[in-house]
């Protein structure tokens, strides 16, 4: 049997993200800090710590191509709670496409007062960091 059309349309191959990621690592190895995006198990484990019974923002630092973001949404975190702080403009564009209800901020996670000062209106419920050093 062939896959259903919806499965073919919506199931993006992970290889795309791995190529994107590797390309960014070649260009900026120190900023990327890893050669490949996080795997599903790690992403799900990180997402499992976020409180679903809160409306407060969830800040994700360095979401990259969004594997942890995906796990957060799959777990049931309302995408409108997500504030994604990503340094790379290319990844920001991708994240805006993939998570149109999230707030994507192109900026530096190491200067959060500056990066989120105008954006965050209430204390965050969780900060999930995808940064590695």
Ligand X SMILES: C[S@@+](CC[C@H](N)C(=O)[O-])C[C@H]1O[C@@H](n2cnc3c(N)ncnc32)[C@H](O)[C@@H]1O
Please report, as ranges, the residues that interact with ligand X according to CB under 6 A.
Answer: 31-34, 37-38, 61-64, 67-68, 85-88, 91, 108-110, 130-132
CB of 1 vs ligand X, minimal distance in Å: 33
**Burial call 93-120: b when 16+ CB within 10 Å, e when fewer:** ebbeebbeebbbbbbebeebeebbeeeb
Residue with the closest Cβ to ligand X?
130
Q: How far apart are CA 63 and CA 91, in angstroms?
A: 8
Smaller CB separation from ligand X, 6 or 118: 118
Smaller CB separation from ligand X, 2 or 49: 49
CB of 78 vs ligand X, minimal distance in Å: 20
H or E segment to which residue 56 belongs: none
């Amino acid at each position: 049997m062939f896959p259903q059309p919806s499965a073919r349309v919506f199931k993006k191959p992970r290889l795309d993200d791995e190529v994107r990621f590797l390309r960014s690592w070649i260009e900026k190895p120190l900023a990327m800090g890893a050669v490949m995006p996080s795997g599903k198990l790690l992403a799900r484990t990180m997402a499992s710590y976020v409180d679903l019974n809160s409306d407060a923002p969830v800040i994700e630092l360095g979401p990259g191509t969004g594997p942890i973001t995906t796990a957060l949404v799959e777990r049931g975190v309302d995408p409108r709670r997500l504030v994604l702080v990503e340094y790379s403009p290319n990844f920001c564009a991708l994240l805006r496409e993939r998570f149109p209800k999230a707030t994507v901020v192109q900026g530096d996670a190491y200067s959060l007062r500056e990066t989120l000062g105008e954006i965050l209106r209430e204390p965050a419920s969780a900060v999930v960091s995808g940064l590695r050093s």
